[in-house]
Amino acid sequence: MERFPPSKSIAFVLLLLAACAHYAEANPGRRHPIRSIFSFGNSYTDTGNYGKLAASVLPVIPFSNLPYGETFFSRPTGRASNGRLILDFIADEFGLPFIPPILGEECNFTHGANFGVIAATALGLGFFLEKNITTVPPFNSSLNVQLEWFRKLKPTLCSTPQETTSGDLSFMGEIGGNDYNFIRAAGETNEQVASYVPKVVQTITAGVEAVVEAGARYVVVPGILPTGCIPIVLTLFASPNKNDYDARTGCLREDNAVARYHNTALLEAVRRLRCKYPAAKIVYADYYAPVMAFLKKPATFGFSATRSGLRVCCGAGGLYNYNATAPCGLPGATACPDPAAHINWDGIHMTEAAYKHIATGWLRGPYAHPPIFDAVHP
């Protein structure tokens, strides 16, 4: 067998070490102790639960039809996008498989479970019905319901609470945005909608406490998107007054103000939670900033700079290519040929390309405080 001279052997070892260091830097998720992910939330996280819940109530479920899922899966999976969601990209970074929906066909939750449901709210169904707000779905998939699913699943995953403290990453949302949207759709003003923010934030805070006290060590708490930049909101609440719109982005000012109020209150709640639970690593994840960055500098992120960033990829015409009578997934709506050049997929949800950028910003910064990788570093 050929032997290397000492100098060449040393050089080879150094080269090997450099290559390993480069691999570790390029794949930081593989260095961290995350063995499973548990996710709560709404359509920005749901990977198939809504289809199971709504099947007995709704005759047609758009998310169960193409072109949903066309980009990555080549079939609809229950995700409200053309492909993967933020949760999918983060799971991949940690070397985990796609996190299965709790109501799906999968029975193996070794690597976590997804409790998120399209159209889910932070507040319970009873709260809305008491206030005669009937714009909510006719089944209860609120945060407390999702937490109850989690409580029932947890004993099947481990024999002691301590077994979950070092390897679980929990996502508490996005949730809360639907609460405000349903209240707004019921005819209340933005000023009235804002009055619900403290109750919504308190409910999310209680949810975080529940998973931390159940043993979660790493928790990500996302804020909500700039609601005034969502095409369905821009379409349903269009204003004849140009001053109601931000001149640079075209978003509705007052709706975005409610979103900022929620996010500020939630961030303050996260800070208090960190003091109360110093052993837990609690991350605030920002949806608002990246979406505004996409709209202000689309070309920087690979999105089209020649069309409005508010224009929907899968739609049926109109100013924003969104038509409530012909939503994506139903007859009359068609998908654009270049979804990766679009920010918004269907008038409510974003494209896989947008979600990938946000996932990167949550993992490495600057759109999470602290970045997830920093929080879970051994």
pLDDT in tens, 131-145: 999 999 888 999 999
pLDDT of residue 138: 87
Per-residue pLDDT, averaged over 367-378, amounts to 93
From CA 288, how far away is CA 263, in angstroms rounded? 8
The yes-or-no verdict on residue 16 having pLDDT over 70 is no
CA terminus-to-terminus distance, the chain: 41
pLDDT of residue 178: 98
The structure tokens 């999976």 sit at 77
Question: What is the length of the chain?
Answer: 378
Cβ count within 10 A of residue 181: 23
Chain-centre distance for alpha carbon 276: 25
From CA 102, how far away is CA 38, in angstroms rounded? 10
pLDDT of residue 163: 52
The yes-or-no verdict on residue 27 having pLDDT over 80 is no
Catalytically active residues are 43, 346, 349
The yes-or-no verdict on residue 28 having pLDDT over 50 is no
220 vs 58, higher pLDDT: 220
From CA 13, how far away is CA 6, in angstroms rounded? 11
CB proximity list for 96: less than 8 A, separation 6 or greater: 34, 35, 36, 37, 111, 112
Q: Which long-range contacts (CB under 8 A, 24 or more apart) does 293-296 make?
A: 294/343, 294/354, 294/357, 295/229, 295/249, 295/250, 295/251, 295/343, 296/248, 296/249
287 vs 22, higher pLDDT: 287
pLDDT of residue 259: 98
pLDDT of residue 7: 43
pLDDT of residue 18: 38
The yes-or-no verdict on residue 23 having pLDDT over 50 is no
Per-residue pLDDT, averaged over 288-304, amounts to 97
Torsion over CA of 276, 364, 32 and 115, rounded to 10 degrees? 70
pLDDT of residue 243: 98
Q: The tokens of 12 are what? A: 């080879």
Lowest-confidence region among 157-161, 283-287, 318-322: 157-161
Task: Band the pLDDT of 308: cuts 50, 70, 90.
Answer: confident
Chain-centre distance for alpha carbon 363: 13
Condensed to tens digits (0 to 9), the pLDDT of residues 235-250 reads: 999 999 999 999 999 9
Per-residue pLDDT, averaged over 296-311, amounts to 93
From CA 170, how far away is CA 112, in angstroms rounded? 9
Q: With contact defined as beta carbons under 8 Å apart, do 292 and 226 qualify?
A: yes
Q: With contact defined as beta carbons under 8 Å apart, do 82 and 135 qualify?
A: no
pLDDT of residue 54: 93
Lowest-confidence region among 2-11, 171-180, 215-224, 360-369: 2-11
The yes-or-no verdict on residue 20 having pLDDT over 90 is no
- As a whole-number percent, the residues of the chain with pLDDT over 90 amount to 84
CB proximity list for 146: less than 8 A, separation 6 or greater: 40, 41, 115, 116, 117, 120
From CA 253, how far away is CA 305, in angstroms rounded? 22
Which DSSP symbol is given to 278?
T
Instruction: Give CA separation, 292 vs 7, 83, 96, 346, 367, in Å.
Output: 54, 22, 30, 18, 12
From CA 327, how far away is CA 312, in angstroms rounded? 11
pLDDT of residue 106: 86
Task: Band the pLDDT of 32: cuts 50, 70, 90.
Answer: low
The yes-or-no verdict on residue 364 having pLDDT over 80 is yes
Per-residue pLDDT, averaged over 46-75, amounts to 95
The per-residue b/e assignment along 51-68, b for 16 or more CB within 10 angstroms, e otherwise, is bbbbeeeeeebbbbbebb
Q: With contact defined as beta carbons under 8 Å apart, do 30 and 95 qualify?
A: yes
Tell me the average pLDDT of the chain. 90
- The DSSP result for 41-68, as a single string, is -STTT-SSHHHHHHTTT-S--GGGSTTT
pLDDT of residue 12: 34
Condensed to tens digits (0 to 9), the pLDDT of residues 69-99 reads: 999 999 999 999 999 999 999 999 999 999 9
The pTM of the full predicted model, rounded to 2 decimals, is 0.90
From CA 169, how far away is CA 37, in angstroms rounded? 5
pLDDT of residue 107: 87
